[in-house]
Amino acid sequence: MTKKLFMKIVEVIPKLVSGGAEKFVIDLSNELYRQGHDVTLVSLYDTDQSCILESALLKNIKKVSLHKHLGLDWKCMLALLQFIRRERPDVVHVHVGAIRYVMPALVWMRKISFFATIHSEPVREAFSKLGLYLRKILFAFKRMTPVVISDRFVDTFEKLYHRTPCVIYNGAVEYNKEFSEELKQYRENVDFLFVHVGRIQKVKNQLILVKTFSRLIDEGCKVRLLIIGRVEDCELLSQLSMYFNDNILYLGEKTDVRSYMKVSDALCMTSTVEGMPISIIEGMSVGCVPLVTPAGGCVDMINQGVDGLLSPDFDEESYYQLLRQYMKYGQEKRYSMSQSALKKYQDCYSMQICAKNYLLAFNLSCYKTK
């Protein structure tokens, strides 16, 4: 049994923007701090003034920017080395595209434990052949502990890097707020209220989503879909806007998406690529039933017909039938699914559980390093 250590932890992420991995890092940093650890959040890029995530970071957590430029920035890599050398943390935990930037520190700082969380499918997150090559070098170092967020990614990771990663599920903080009265307007004159949370980008497959709901509305179904998320693809938004009306609403980016989830019956996700989506976990945390395509780790999250529904493929017709199936359920069945989704969050996906699992891994690695 290893002794629990007070740790100095540095979390490193490319940039603070509104996204699942970024939201996760903020929530994890906050929970690690609450549990008594010294936490610093390093962003390689400067943070945009429009970023709504930064305000969620606890004030006592230090935030550092390394002013990265576009492309592979060697100066930023050296700046991160200098920062780590100066701070001398026990643990450096890197995410997404920041992984390659710890290479010099991994070579020179031998008494520090390094962790890298892969937030999506391992091949996709490498981004390029160069990225894949650099990661193969990094994961050859035994002091770099890889973490994947779904059991589904273990085999792929082992084949790519010849290492067996840790599996630690994502988590989200508990949500106890009541939704505001003004949100009840979205339930007016409809039988079902659905919400979609995700950046406007092609991998989210949102054209299928709006086409499916347009078809349901044309057939006389009393449904409404709320779409929430920042725009990454303006051309796609233009295509989606042709389907917008009083019952398919784009609300833009919101700071408190779970208030919209809480007032909704179900969460819709039609992505072609995912890791373990924070939006599904946040939806479960308020009893919003996930109705999703079989992308990445989503498959491992859903107990079919119990706490959500999973379509058999990414086809428009399949997702249409999935929505029809959900709407055929009686109120008692839908309530049971909502409660089961909430229980799954409490048992598997709370941030307290997630942080505990990371701390166990950190603690063991620090014990070995010392």
Residue ranges of the chain whose pLDDT lies below 70: 1-5, 49-51, 367-370
Q: Spelled out in words, what is the top-level CATH class assigned to the domain 8-173+350-369?
A: alpha beta
Helices (H), 141-251: 154-161, 206-218, 234-241
What per-residue confidence (pLDDT) applies to 365?
Answer: 80
Distance in angstroms (rounded) separating the CA atoms of residues 336 and 340: 6
Largest CA distance in the chain: 66
Q: Within 10 Å of residue 154's Cβ, how many Cβ atoms?
A: 15
Tokens of 233: 């693809």
Helices (H), 196-250: 206-218, 234-241
Prediction pTM value: 0.91
DSSP 54: G
What per-residue confidence (pLDDT) applies to 364?
Answer: 85
Among candidates 92, 153, 163, 155, which has minimal Cα distance to 120? Answer: 153
What per-residue confidence (pLDDT) applies to 215?
Answer: 98
What per-residue confidence (pLDDT) applies to 368?
Answer: 61
What per-residue confidence (pLDDT) applies to 50?
Answer: 64
DSSP per-residue string spanning 245-310: BTTEEEEE--S-HHHHHHHSSEEEE--SS-SS-HHHHHHHHTT-EEEE---TTHHHH--BTTTBEE
Asked whether the CA dihedral 139, 144, 145, 147 is positive or negative, the reply is negative
Q: Within 10 Å of residue 294's Cβ, how many Cβ atoms?
A: 16
Give, in degrees to the nearest 5, the angle at Cα 354 between 349 and 359. 170
Which stretch of DSSP H or E encloses residue 351? Answer: helix 351-369
Distance in angstroms (rounded) separating the CA atoms of residues 252 and 273: 22
Tokens of 258: 């779970």
Angle between helices 351-369 and 20-34 (to 10 degrees): 70
- What's phi and psi for 295, nearest 5 deg? -95, 125
User: Which CATH number, 3.90.1720.10, 3.10.180.10, 3.90.650.10, 3.40.50.2000, labels domain 181-348?
Assistant: 3.40.50.2000
Asked whether the CA dihedral 77, 83, 86, 91 is positive or negative, the reply is negative
- SS3 for 53? coil
Provide the residue ranges of all domains of the chain, joining segments of one domain with +.
Answer: 8-173+350-369, 181-348
Chain-centre distance for alpha carbon 181? 28
Angle between helices 206-218 and 316-328 (to 10 degrees): 50
Neighbouring-strand partners of residue 226: 195, 249
Domains 8-173+350-369 and 181-348 alike in fold: yes
Task: Read off the amino acid at residue 249.
Answer: L
Distance in angstroms (rounded) separating the CA atoms of residues 24 and 19: 8
